[in-house]
Amino acid sequence: MRTRGGRPTRCQSGPSVTQWATPELVDEVLAECRKRDRRPGALPAGFMVYFTLGLALFHQNSYDDVAEHLVGGVPELSGCIPHKASFTRARERLGPEVVERLFHRLAGPLALTGLTGSFCWGMCIAAVDGFLLDVPDNQANRQTFGGPKDEGPCASRTAVLKVFLMPLNLFHPE
């Protein structure tokens, strides 16, 4: 795996997230958000963008598992997995704005105008997607998002359900 500025340019196996979130696009978004690598020895901001995407894509894996797939391509890390606290501090420095802007730069219609199959019986074909976000279990979050309804094994978890309806073609064919 080769790197560019601390960011992987190719995944070790399978299709790469860098096919869509290119290192150039990540650099642009980091510049727009004024996120720079200021501290020597700190995890690079570009690496943290890909790490955050990896956590979302492989939510069932631990920090270490996701990091293990990425650090091999970053010479500055010498193949060593940093401590979890380093990832936490780096994610705090990165903040949510970078990933949000990256999403808005990449989001758009999936079907091309006039593409056969993007409409059915005059209606736009859409996709439904959703996910759960674990949030800290505290009084403020329970008031905002509610809490668990039972006393089962997940009773100490507070989670936010996000569901989206996304049209696959925003344009009506001529």
Distance CA 18, CA 81 (A): 21
Least confident among 27-41, 63-77, 104-118: 104-118
Backbone φ and ψ of 127, nearest 5°: -120, 145
SS3 80: coil
Sign for the CA dihedral angle at 10, 130, 143, 97 comes to positive
Place of tokens 């209606």: 123
How far from 65 is each of 14, 137, 153, CA to CA, in Å? Answer: 16, 25, 25
**Residue-wise pLDDT tens digits, 119-139:** 676 666 778 888 777 777 778
The first and second tokens of residue 157, run together, are 């978890």
Domain ranges of the chain: 3-106, 119-167
**Residue-wise pLDDT tens digits, 51-94:** 899 888 888 888 888 888 887 666 666 667 888 888 888 888 89
Which pLDDT value is given to residue 27?
93
Sign for the CA dihedral angle at 17, 20, 22, 27 comes to negative
